[in-house]
A and B are shown apart, each in its own frame.
Chain A
């Protein structure tokens, strides 16, 4: 499933103004204006002038706060977003409640005290941001993040992301039971996204006491998708080299044939309409779900 652009010109706009360039411009603008953020709870607030405001919006960092103030636009950034600007892009300074600028260790300790699993979430966030994906909160979908190919105004998000860490001390506690996994896959299908799991693996020497731990872990990406045997019976290609991907095409609208009194010939066995319909009922053919799948195929 490729990116679903909104409108005819969106893809061209994205190519003309690559996200990497916008982020670079934002970086310069914030450094030049010596913008500083304020730690407040689990957010960072920053007041931006006109130039930085425009770039923050286009690069998709933070949410604008609506206020009456005219010469400054206030933004609320998540911990991941603000730490990315502070640590990865080195373009934002951050102050605490005492109005004093905090150093990296102080900021890290503050964030960890608020969100102990932060290293995993930040590793996942920065992993995709470094590849120029736009990463936003996945709160409204019950996931950790959503990832966009470009600005959300111009493209729908492709991936709903869950962050998992290895081992028994998995800090996120997701996908440990089938009901959660099925719920997520079902939800993602309904909103036309693919469930993407970012697994954070720790190597020796990982200690969450400082941002150095980020270098002691790596990210593995997995998609989890539902496979419908009723719809995938004809082989298109098999990628034997990687062995990980299985492509199939809809050869006939099988379930449509079932409902339209057609006789099907499958393999060596000839099925009458009744057995096909019975199989449809027995094996939970869900017309609504099939309709959604057909809609997806149009993209």
Chain B
């Protein structure tokens, strides 16, 4: 190759491969004139909301969603607010209040708004996004953290497992990754370090929520190799 060719290609402009056409799903919805239809579950479990615990106690199990959802305490299955809301949205659970009256979606959304059950709206949207895709998602547990004496508010939000039809709540393997739902700003270096410490070697991902849209990122420490 001639020196002139080397010189002229040193600015790397040929790398620019930006796609000009962009398919915007909002535009699609607008033109189609209808809201996408959701396939509802035919098997509906039943659960009572327990305000003291901030969880739903399952009294009737139907279908298969319960296998990979909820936690068992003293022999009974409980759903967190995000699990409850997700299942309620797709009719996988029929929610009852303590006096056996039906709790509608409006009531459940209000419970999220109250903020007393350990999950805010943005965290729920992340939960729902992954759960809809078949991932197995649980709240970050402190069981692995017994060695860590430092207690601070900063911790991962979820433990996530890849879709797995052999998953058993009683004997899960290590999560595939931990997930932190970022708040207003990208995580700082110190925040990343503190979160990773609490992950005990399990990879950490970050998610960000714009209303209705969830995106995920990995921030990985690397070391570029020394080249010849």
Expressed in whole angstroms, the minimum distance between the Cβ of B39 and any Cβ of chain A is 4
The answer on a CB contact under 8 Å between A226 and B216 is yes
Chain B residues with Cβ below 8 Å from A53 are 3
Chain A residues with Cβ below 8 Å from B176 are 235, 238, 246
The answer on a CB contact under 8 Å between B15 and A284 is no
Q: Which residues of chain A in 133-152 are interfacial with respect to chain B, using CB atoms and an 8 Å cutoff? A: 133, 136, 140, 146-152
Task: Please give me the residue from chain A that is nearest to B19 by CB atom.
Answer: A288
Q: Which residues of chain A in 152-183 are interfacial with respect to chain B, using CB atoms and an 8 Å cutoff? A: 152-154, 156-157, 159, 166, 175-178, 181-182
The answer on a CB contact under 8 Å between B222 and A18 is no
Chain B residues with Cβ below 8 Å from A267 are 68, 134, 136, 163-165, 167
A175 partner, pick from B13, B186, B220, B226, beta carbons under 8 A: B186
Chain B residues with Cβ below 8 Å from A241 are 201
Chain A residues with Cβ below 8 Å from B135 are 229, 233
A136 to B3, CA, bound (A): 18
Chain B residues with Cβ below 8 Å from A222 are 219-222
* Bitwise interface map of A from 279 to 291 toward B, beta carbon under 8 Å scored 1, else 0: 1011111111001
* Bitwise interface map of B from 13 to 34 toward A, beta carbon under 8 Å scored 1, else 0: 1111111011101001100000
Chain B residues with Cβ below 8 Å from A159 are 224
Which of A132, A187, A281 is the most central at the interface, judged by chain B CB atoms within 10 Å of its CB? A281
B39 partner, pick from A136, A185, A272, beta carbons under 8 A: A272
Beyond the given A19-B227, A57-B6, please list 5 additional residue pairs across the A-B interface where CB-CB is below 8 A: A146-B12, A159-B224, A191-B17, A222-B220, A226-B215
Q: Known: A131-B224, A267-B165. Is A292-B19 also a contact (CB below 8 A)? A: yes
Which 4 residue pairs are nearest across A and B when measured between Cβ atoms? A266-B134, A243-B201, A18-B228, A267-B163
Task: Determine chain B's interface SS by DSSP, over half rule.
Answer: loop
A149 partner, pick from B15, B133, B227, beta carbons under 8 A: B227
Q: Known: A233-B163, A292-B19. Is A223-B220 also a contact (CB below 8 A)? A: yes
The answer on a CB contact under 8 Å between A191 and B67 is no
B12 partner, pick from A152, A286, A292, beta carbons under 8 A: A152
The answer on a CB contact under 8 Å between B221 and A54 is no
A56 to B66, CA, bound (A): 66
The answer on a CB contact under 8 Å between A229 and B216 is yes
* Segment of A58-66, A84-92, A96-104, A207-215 engaged in the interface with chain B: A58-66
